[in-house]
Amino acid sequence: MTLIIRGGRVIDPANGMDGIRDIYIEGDKIIQPPKTKKTSSSEVIDARGLIVAPGLIDMHCHLREPGFEYKEDIASGARAAAAGGFTTICCMPNTNPVNDSRSVTEFIIGQAKKAGFCKVLPIGAITKGSMGTELAEMGEMAEAGCTGFSDDGKPVANAEMMRHALEYAKTFGRTIISHCEEPALSAGGVMNEGAVSARLGLRGIPSAAEEVMVARDISLARLTGARLHVAHVSTAGSVELIRRAKAEGISVTAETCPHYFTLTDEGVVSYNTYLKVNPPLRTEADRKAIIGGLEDGTIDVIATDHAPHAASEKDVEFDLAPFGISGLETALALAMALAHSGLIPMAELLRKFTVNPALALGMAPPSLLPGSPADIVLIDPETEKTVRPEILLSKGKNTAFSGLVLKGWPVMTIHEGKKIEFKH
Amino acid sequence: MALKKKDLLGIDYLEKAEIEEIISTAESFKEVSTRDIKKVPALRGRTIVNLFFEPSTRTRTSFELAAKRLSADIINISSSTSSVVKGETLLDTARNIEAMNSDMIIVRHSMSGAPMILAKALKSSVINAGDGSHEHPSQALLDLFTIKERLGRVEGLNIAIIGDIAHSRVARSNILCLNKMGANVRLCGPATLIPADIEKMGAKVYFRPEDAIDGADVVMMLRIQMERQKSGLFPGVREYSRFFGLNQERVRLAKEGVIIMHPGPINRGVEISTEVADGPYSVILDQVTNGVAVRMAIIYLLTEGRGAI
Ligand SMILES: [Zn+2]
Ligand SMILES: [Zn+2]
């Protein structure tokens, strides 16, 4: 059977394509439109008024399995991802056990295959147990399917260890994704350090805690020639450091998350733990600088840093609440605001969700050319919806955007040629 | 008039007129404390809970006395934040207490913002008796009361607050309160104990106490916590005392008739010398006395505001 996506605005950033056309799918592949009307059965999806793009890639999310299945599991997270328009997601290794070995990597891939909602590519740990003292078996994990390495959440504090991690990952053609945070500077902090934290009497995390590490890792990338990807950039200073590193030709890419270009620390005045995230929401000046970085290409990727938590964990004192925002299902709609306001052209925005994360991980960029895997998202750029925790399919209802009306949502996700059902 | 709100969570959430109302009500309650029978029947039959997650004999006793002088029933519950370890959350604890039909919960907690969680979830009135490094509104109100009582006014006065501003809820509530009342607030301490953006709350930062005290009408000293030394925020008590402690020499730089305040408990010979603490300009004990009257006013006005009297 042939699946035909008819009349949509096809945006294929990898091939510079942006225009109305039809996409034909057979099996799990995109095919050449047939020259003559075929007699074989076909299903037509009316995509008029919709954007048709390669399935989105989220290179940074937390799926919590194994170990924290009450927060999320691979199936629920993958389903939420599909609902958010993603066909490929990369899950961070801070599970229990930590994904620092072939067996955990294989377990994750197996669970994802069983669930079937989208492709799940594990990110392996840099060091054993993410303890920062001994390199994990990156070679074997790469072989088993790890697409990159990170000690996300537990920054590699020792500079020499980080140097060796970059060198060793380079050996296997993998990227190191750095959660840039100087732990001594951020210790005990729960929100951005600034006027708001001063007023609220909450312990601050200074911008410098991030920037010191961004600067260190850029120096190490220069030294080693390895591929460095800076996770969740949140400060103006980090954007500037990365901008200069790129101008110098250092092999560095960077991501930010929707909350950093949407919200600021002002929101925390009510001690709303749903806005507690690491790195923390920064100031308006930082938010503007992040958008500036997205505009000029300094920031290559929009990732979710989807960090689901149970409600009972968030409904506590601000100091006790865990960091993290459930983000898979709102990321695209939040990013669409940048396109609607004219800050970033639609094709460029979609590039940050598709081609750029693939390149940052050294993978082939997704494409809509015939022969490519049929991983596709259909987006209605005009539809409006109010974010409410209940509409999320993720087990983590901890959205930071409750009540926000957003315009432009994914309406259908096709993975390996199949329409993914993600109703409640 | 009454406070048209359910809770008293901080000075940040009070209007100037509300602050004035609390102060004038406290003035009439202060008179009650001088009678032979120090009790009015205003809150007979009301149940108030002192919920203290952090030990503080001083504030707890002051609230307890205030409630008793208003004829309310008051229960003291000391809980430790370690109940979280046992699996009970702050909300669980509070809901259990409210199930006993309490009308008001006075809460002290080591974490900033904890009373806000309670206020949002509970029908009872919530009074913040100090939360983390955030606010301690009843302390700021009793300080204001004491300044007005001694100096007759607050507007235009120069008020120096000296010590660990960063970790002090007393400092935050006082900055906000004194600002709303039109005073000039000066802050002083080593830069390690003063948040960079604190001036945005309406205060001027000085690093030399001589400059902060120069021409001051009020000098407010804050207690220095010894654990700050361990976390590397200042090198030691001796040096702290030498550069930031209040001694008679420094007091002489202040305006004639200056009053010296301290929220207590004091570290004699550290942030304040004994002769200053016990000197004629010290109003430290008046602060304690006035605390009861001010807390009576807060409890009374919150209850009245809910149409319960
Ligand atoms: Zn991280
Ligand atoms: Zn993360």
Which of 3.20.20.70, 3.20.20.140, 3.40.50.300, 1.10.10.10 would CATH assign to domain A55-360? 3.20.20.140
Residue in the block written with tokens 């420094």: B250
Contact predicate A296/A247, CB 8 Å:
no
Q: β-strand A148-149 against A119-124: which pairing, if any? A: parallel
- Give whole-number Cα distances, B223 to A367, A371, B161, B270, B275, in Å: 65, 73, 11, 9, 17
CATH 2.30.40.10 location in chain A: 2-51+371-421
Cα B153–chain centre separation: 19
Q: What is the dihedral of CA B72, B78, B81, B82, to 10 degrees?
A: -150
* pLDDT at res. B35: 85
Active site residue A58: no
Sheet bearing B104-109, strands edge to edge: B73-78, B47-52, B104-109, B125-131
User: What is the arithmetic mean of pLDDT over A203-217?
Assistant: 98
Which of B113, B200, B201 lies nearest to residue A317, judging by beta carbons?
B113
B280 burial level (CB within 10 Å; 0-12, 13-18, 19+) = exposed
Band the pLDDT of B11: cuts 50, 70, 90. Answer: very high
* pLDDT at res. A306: 98
Task: Average the pLDDT over each of A255-259, A420-424, B80-84, B159-163 and give the range with the smallest value.
Answer: B80-84
- The fraction of chain B above a pLDDT of 70, given in percent, is 96
Closest-CA residue of A relative to B196 is A194
CA distance A237 to chain B (A): 18
Whether chain A has a CB inside 8 Å of the CB on B12: the answer is: yes
Length of chain B: 309
Structure tokens that stand for B150 in this block = 């001694």
* Separation of alpha carbons A335 and A354, rounded Å: 13
CA distance B105 to chain A (A): 17
Query: How far away, in angstroms, is A59 Cα from ligand 2 center?
Result: 10
What letter would DSSP give residue B166?
T
CATH 3.20.20.140 location in chain A: 55-360
Asked if the Cβ–Cβ distance from B112 to A318 is below 8 Å, we say yes
Closest-CA residue of B relative to A194 is B197
Whether chain A has a CB inside 8 Å of the CB on B197: the answer is: yes
User: What is the arithmetic mean of pLDDT over B117-136?
Assistant: 96
How many CB atoms lie under 10 A from the CB of residue A321? 20
Ligand nearest to the CA of A92: 2
A275-308, pLDDT tens digit by residue? 999 999 999 999 999 999 999 999 999 999 999 9
Task: Average the pLDDT over each of A196-210, B25-39, B135-149 and give the range with the smallest value.
Answer: B25-39
How many CB atoms lie under 10 A from the CB of residue B221? 25
Asked if the Cβ–Cβ distance from B201 to A270 is below 8 Å, we say no
Cα A191–chain centre separation: 21
Rounded to 5°, the CA angle A233-A415-A303 comes to 5
Which of A193, A202, A320 lies nearest to residue B84, judging by beta carbons?
A320
Asked if the Cβ–Cβ distance from B111 to A319 is below 8 Å, we say yes
* pLDDT at res. A424: 45
Average pLDDT, chain A: 96
Cα B48–chain centre separation: 19
Query: How far away, in angstroms, is A315 Cα from ligand 2 center?
Result: 21
Residues 6+ apart with CB under 8 A from A418: A28
* Separation of alpha carbons A419 and A421, rounded Å: 6
Query: How far away, in angstroms, is A181 Cα from ligand 1 center?
Result: 9
* 3-class SS shares of chain B: helix, strand, coil, % to 5: 45, 15, 40
Ligand nearest to the CA of A155: 1
Residue A391 has pLDDT above 50, yes or no: yes
- Give whole-number Cα distances, B185 to B11, B176, B201, B203, B218, in Å: 15, 9, 10, 5, 10
Three-state secondary structure call for residue B46: coil
* A63-84 burial code (b ≥16 CB/10 A, e <16): bbbbebeebbbbbbbbbbbbbb
Chain A contact residues (CB < 8 Å to B): 193-195, 197-204, 270-271, 312, 315-320
Contact predicate B66/B38, CB 8 Å:
no
How many CB atoms lie under 10 A from the CB of residue A37? 6
Whether chain A has a CB inside 8 Å of the CB on B172: the answer is: yes
Q: Find which of A185, A203, A271, A272 to mutate to test the B interface (most B CBs within 10 Å of its CB).
A: A271
Query: How far away, in angstroms, is A154 Cα from ligand 2 center?
Result: 10
- The fraction of chain B above a pLDDT of 90, given in percent, is 80
Model confidence pTM above 0.90 = yes
- The fraction of chain A above a pLDDT of 70, given in percent, is 99
* Separation of alpha carbons B161 and B240, rounded Å: 15
Q: Find which of A196, A317, A318, A319 to mutate to test the B interface (most B CBs within 10 Å of its CB).
A: A317
CA distance B116 to chain A (A): 8
Which of A194, A202, A315 lies nearest to residue B91, judging by beta carbons?
A315
Residues 6+ apart with CB under 8 A from A213: A155, A178, A180, A181, A182
- Give whole-number Cα distances, A338 to A50, A341, A409, in Å: 18, 5, 13
Average pLDDT, chain B: 92
Identify the helix (H) or strand (E) that includes residue B250: helix B248-251
Residue A423 has pLDDT above 70, yes or no: no
Choose between B306 and A131: higher pLDDT.
A131
Phi, psi of B94 (to 5 degrees): -65, -40
Three-state secondary structure call for residue A86: strand
Ligand nearest to the CA of A93: 2
Ligand nearest to the CA of A324: 2
CA distance B238 to chain A (A): 27
- The fraction of chain A above a pLDDT of 90, given in percent, is 96
User: What is the arithmetic mean of pLDDT over A60-85?
Assistant: 98
Closest-CA residue of B relative to A187 is B231
B191 burial level (CB within 10 Å; 0-12, 13-18, 19+) = exposed
Choose between A218 and B78: higher pLDDT.
A218
Task: Average the pLDDT over each of A265-269, B137-141, B224-228 and give the range with the smallest value.
Answer: B224-228
Rounded to 5°, the CA angle A288-A387-A400 comes to 50
Structure tokens that stand for A28 in this block = 């799990």
Nearest alpha-carbon partner for A175 in A28, A363, A36, A37: A363
Structure tokens that stand for A338 in this block = 């940048």
Closest-CA residue of A relative to B89 is A316
* pLDDT at res. B86: 64
What class, spelled out in words, does domain A2-51+371-421 have in CATH?
mainly beta
CA distance A315 to chain B (A): 8
Long-range contacts of B277-280 (CB under 8 A, 24+ apart): B279/B248, B279/B251
Structure tokens that stand for A202 in this block = 């909450």
* pLDDT at res. B4: 86
Query: How far away, in angstroms, is A61 Cα from ligand 2 center?
Result: 6
Band the pLDDT of B230: cuts 50, 70, 90. Answer: confident
* pLDDT at res. B102: 92
Residue B303 has pLDDT above 50, yes or no: yes
User: What is the arithmetic mean of pLDDT over B35-53?
Assistant: 91
* Separation of alpha carbons A230 and A202, rounded Å: 27
ipTM: 0.93
How many CB atoms lie under 10 A from the CB of residue B270? 18
Nearest alpha-carbon partner for B199 in B185, B216, B220, B182: B185
